[in-house]
């Protein structure tokens, strides 16, 4: 795939010799891709990502994958608290209120395939910004098609039926922790989980939430996905 270099000054060494073993997907939340690119390359903004994908599917490389881009901020995934040092950050030009166009999604799939192959990243280690920072982030939001990525083994998904599941706040919280979600308020954790795995869900914790969380925790516990070597 064609990738256009557009280096950002907002980068540093990965801490402690870390290598990427996960990827984080974002939306820019800005009106245009050009505005997002300007911000991601502005030294005063102190934010960046490894890649920016425009609505028409152009891929811009801002930071080399071996380097630490400043995209994730405060948050965690499982035991990983410095997500920037362990991840590749991918920004999608999107306001947060619009669908993600087909050319953009196709480019993302091709990019993810290459990144995952280079760094031996498992589908369970492809997450959204809201997954690792549910208290303060919403992206890539409920319009993003995680199921589509999962069909190509570029993410994980669950269609577990709610048969017999009963709402249990403690059990749901435990399942989210086992999946990798960091501590946060119950409502924000539920919102982050639903935005990804049940974007049509509304109201209080439901049997369908319980079933999907339990299924994901059983199949993709974070410890089982964090044992790949990441230090040299």
- Collapsing DSSP to helix, strand or coil, 208 comes out as helix
Instruction: Write out pLDDT tens, residues 75-102.
Output: 999 999 999 999 999 999 999 999 999 9
pTM for this predicted structure: 0.95
Residue that the structure tokens 């098609």 belong to? 145
In the chain, helix, strand, coil percent, each to 5? 35, 15, 50
The residue range of the domain holding 46 is 3-156
8 neighbors 91 (Cβ within 8 angstroms):
no
Alpha helices in 120-206 (DSSP H): 129-132, 146-151, 169-179, 186-197
Shared domain for 189 and 132, answered yes or no, is: no
Please check whether residues 143 and 175 belong to one and the same domain: no
Q: What is the pLDDT of residues 166-191, one digit of tens each?
A: 999 999 999 999 999 999 999 999 99
Give the tens place of pLDDT for each residue, 54-81: 999 999 999 999 999 999 999 999 999 9
Are 27 and 70 contained in the same domain? yes
My answer on whether 11 and 106 are in the same domain is: yes
User: What total number of domains does the chain contain?
Assistant: 2
Selected catalytic residue, list 91, 102, 109, 113: 91
Examine the fold and report which residue of 130, 156, 182 is the final residue of a domain before the chain moves on: 156
Report d(CA 176, CA 131) in Å as an integer: 10
Mark whether 200 and 146 lie in a shared domain.
Answer: no
Distance, CA of 176 to CA of 13 (rounded, Å): 31
Which token pair is 212? 């999907």
Q: Are residues 132 and 175 in the same domain?
A: no
Instruction: Please check whether residue 194 lies inside any domain of the structure.
Output: yes
Q: Tell me, yes or no, if 135 is annotated catalytic.
A: no
């Amino acid at each position: 795939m064609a990738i256009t270099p557009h280096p950002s000054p907002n980068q540093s060494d990965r801490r402690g010799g870390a290598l990427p073993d996960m990827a984080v997907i974002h939306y820019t939340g800005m009106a245009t891709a050009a505005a997002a690119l300007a911000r991601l390359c502005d030294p005063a903004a102190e934010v960046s990502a490894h890649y920016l994908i425009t609505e028409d599917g152009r891929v811009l490389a801002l930071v080399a994958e071996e380097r630490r881009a400043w995209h994730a901020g405060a948050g965690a995934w499982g035991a990983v608290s410095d997500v920037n040092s362990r991840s590749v950050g991918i920004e999608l030009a999107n306001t947060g209120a619009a669908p993600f166009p087909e050319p953009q999604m196709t480019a993302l799939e091709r990019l993810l395939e290459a990144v995952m192959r280079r760094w031996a990243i498992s589908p369970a280690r492809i997450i959204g910004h809201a997954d690792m920072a549910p208290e303060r982030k919403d992206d890539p939001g409920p319009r993003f098609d995680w199921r589509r990525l999962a069909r190509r083994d570029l993410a994980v998904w669950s269609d577990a039926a709610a048969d017999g599941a009963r709402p249990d706040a403690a059990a749901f919280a435990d399942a989210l922790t086992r999946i990798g979600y960091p501590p946060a308020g119950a409502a924000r954790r539920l919102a982050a989980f639903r935005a990804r795995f049940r974007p049509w869900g509304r109201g209080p914790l439901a049997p369908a939430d319980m079933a999907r969380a339990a299924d994901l925790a059983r199949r993709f516990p974070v410890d089982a996905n964090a044992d790949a070597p990441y230090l040299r």
